[in-house]
Structure 1
């Protein structure tokens, strides 16, 4: 026996539930903190914040798989999906597809999981694919489904999934398990436990030719949302992408046994970190709104462009701080104009300044 699905006990996973007692309690506490913070945002701004959070997740869940998407295109499609924009013309298929999946997840989190739900997500994700044999259905190819790395001559197999002929049966059992462990069901599981199990269980089956990681993370978020009875808007993919190696190491470490305490502890800690990141992003967004209210009509076009570019970096900020050279590159201003603009931004309380001479850097001054 080499892989977890080859164990006679599959898919009966085992774990130490006591190891998850504190993370489960912390998750519920932090969820309440997020709900409270979100309520402090106006109705109009809630829509914009929702788009910011969902677009970041869409970008990061794709980036984990090595697919770099255009932020503006994703947000444009999200605005269309939420009925804010009239069309999404010009949005590439990849950006449109991930936006559609994220909105479907957001709107229909409470619905029971079905094969059709996942088939629909797969069609959205693979909208621009030319190499997939089966789109919107489970894989059928006879070749082994392997996760590999390295050159062909020295290829390392990190995981091999069950053969395609088993997909219908495996996924029928998975869907039944997912729905029977939902809140208020006979086999209901705590939030973090169920979400972590759903993620690992699904990727162990690896039912699609491509897109399994993105759909696994969507299922984890669906699970969390069902346990909270509302969309989470949690920064799960954002958090995973920042420590991508640890994520893949945890998956590889736990794909050979049905005893998965290590995985569930790792996943629970990741979700808690994701909650912290989400709350920080809400606070950042509120601070951004206050920033613009405080400085309304006080910035020239160049300053507005530079400030918008700094805000685009999010809670991590402009790497190393904004330099005069950065400002010139963003605004195409002369050095003398850039110096005046930056001094003016500091005087107005928009930026703070650190360092001297060529080491001078500027940072957003937020409440």
Structure 2
């Protein structure tokens, strides 16, 4: 079957706008909810919330590509770039680079897209990378750019992108399309349709030797921000990473056709799910701030360390909840001390306890914080 870029009509994608319209309405409605939720956070905490959300996206967009980064190192780098107090945690080049890109996306969401922006993001992403020939420029090599899997003697070709000689022209057309389809552009498109086409269109060109997935998702974020008039802060990569197989299957299927209705429905539903995830994370962050306000100065050093670790797990909490064994491992303490510390946290109302003996588990008591509002 022909790839989409080889077909007559490329890059004119076709779709059923009526199938997306109800999702567009939900997106705009929920965007207002997200904006309102963030406004409930005071200015100082809003910076910390932004760091939490941006670091989550940085980690997850990298994990989708199989790269594991340290979340706390990324947060340290984000703090430094935002002029906030940062710890002295070592930060590797790739963690500093992805953090710089996330800040750049956040700060320049309103600016028209150009080649230099894409090159700048690529330089940030490839910071410290010595394995590719061109950093901060489109791929120039003569070999076919293919997405493959399987054994080297029997490779499965999932997609083959346009040859490198076509990339500059393809990207000039892409940049022109991106800017014309913006809210103030002459061919303005609804938010979800624009973000969905923009992501698939970019991934189909695959203009860089590496980093295309991460930059493609960054473009979706920039597109959504322009349509709602401010950074979206939605957990797009965080949501995609939960089911990357479906994401890649959908991309592969729709890189063989110019009819992208099913892709747009999938991507729109993913964005809507990402919005709900962001709402939950904002609510969790507000509860976290209130929790620390209520219990400030009441925990010993071991308890502080374990509670902080529990909060880092996010709204889902510890898988299987916290056990005494978890506490011993995190706090590096004895069983007797762990038992006393956990009992004290339950007595103070910071944790709730369920189960008996070796099945006893502990969770953060955020309900108690909400009751004090």
TM surpasses 0.5: yes
- Structure 2 match to 1:32: 32
* Cα contact 1:98–1:124 (8 A) shared by 2: yes
Q: Match of 1:157, SS?
A: strand
Structure 1 residue 154 corresponds to structure 2 residue 170: no
Name the stretch that deviates more: 152-161 or 83-92: 83-92
* Cα contact 2:77–2:86 (8 A) shared by 1: no
- After superposition, residues 100-111 of structure 1 pair within 5 angstroms as 100-111=100-111
Shift of 1:335: 1.0
Task: State the alpha-carbon separation in 1 of the partners of residues 162 and 64 from structure 2.
Answer: 23
* Cα contact 1:4–1:255 (8 A) shared by 2: yes
* Cα contact 1:77–1:88 (8 A) shared by 2: no
* Cα contact 2:182–2:227 (8 A) shared by 1: yes
Task: State the alpha-carbon separation in 2 of the partners of residues 89 and 299 from structure 1.
Answer: 24
Structure 1 residue 223 corresponds to structure 2 residue 237: no
TM-score between both structures, scaled by the size of structure 1: 0.98
* Cα contact 2:58–2:98 (8 A) shared by 1: yes
Name the stretch that deviates more: 18-27 or 76-85: 76-85
- Structure 2 match to 1:164: 164
Q: 1:249 to 1:359 in 2, by over 3 A?
A: same
Shift of 1:270: 0.1
Q: Match of 2:41, SS?
A: coil
The Cα offsets for residues 234-280 of structure 1, whole Å up to 9 and x where unpaired, read as 10000000111111111111110000001000000000000000000
Task: State the alpha-carbon separation in 1 of the partners of residues 295 and 46 from structure 2.
Answer: 21
Shift of 1:340: 1.3
- Structure 2 match to 1:272: 272
Q: What stretches of structure 1 move > 2 A for 4+ residues in a row?
A: 85-90
RMSD over aligned Cα, in angstroms? 1.2
Task: State the alpha-carbon separation in 2 of the partners of residues 19 and 95 from structure 1.
Answer: 39
Task: State the alpha-carbon separation in 1 of the partners of residues 254 and 2 from structure 2.
Answer: 11
Unmatched tracts of structure 1, length 5 or more: none
- Structure 1 match to 2:259: 259
- Structure 2 match to 1:183: 183
The Cα offsets for residues 298-347 of structure 1, whole Å up to 9 and x where unpaired, read as 11111111111111101111110000001011112211111111111111
Task: State the alpha-carbon separation in 1 of the partners of residues 341 and 75 from structure 2.
Answer: 30
Task: State the alpha-carbon separation in 2 of the partners of residues 314 and 10 from structure 1.
Answer: 43
Unmatched tracts of structure 2, length 5 or more: none
Task: State the alpha-carbon separation in 1 of the partners of residues 141 and 166 from structure 2.
Answer: 11
Task: State the alpha-carbon separation in 1 of the partners of residues 308 and 88 from structure 2.
Answer: 23
* Cα contact 1:74–1:96 (8 A) shared by 2: yes
* Cα contact 1:354–1:361 (8 A) shared by 2: yes
- After superposition, residues 272-351 of structure 1 pair within 5 angstroms as 272-351=272-351
Shift of 1:107: 0.3
Shift of 1:64: 0.5
The Cα offsets for residues 206-253 of structure 1, whole Å up to 9 and x where unpaired, read as 000000000000000000000011001110000000111111111111
User: How many residue pairs get matched?
Assistant: 367
* Cα contact 1:79–1:85 (8 A) shared by 2: yes
* Cα contact 2:178–2:198 (8 A) shared by 1: yes
Task: State the alpha-carbon separation in 2 of the partners of residues 99 and 304 from structure 1.
Answer: 27
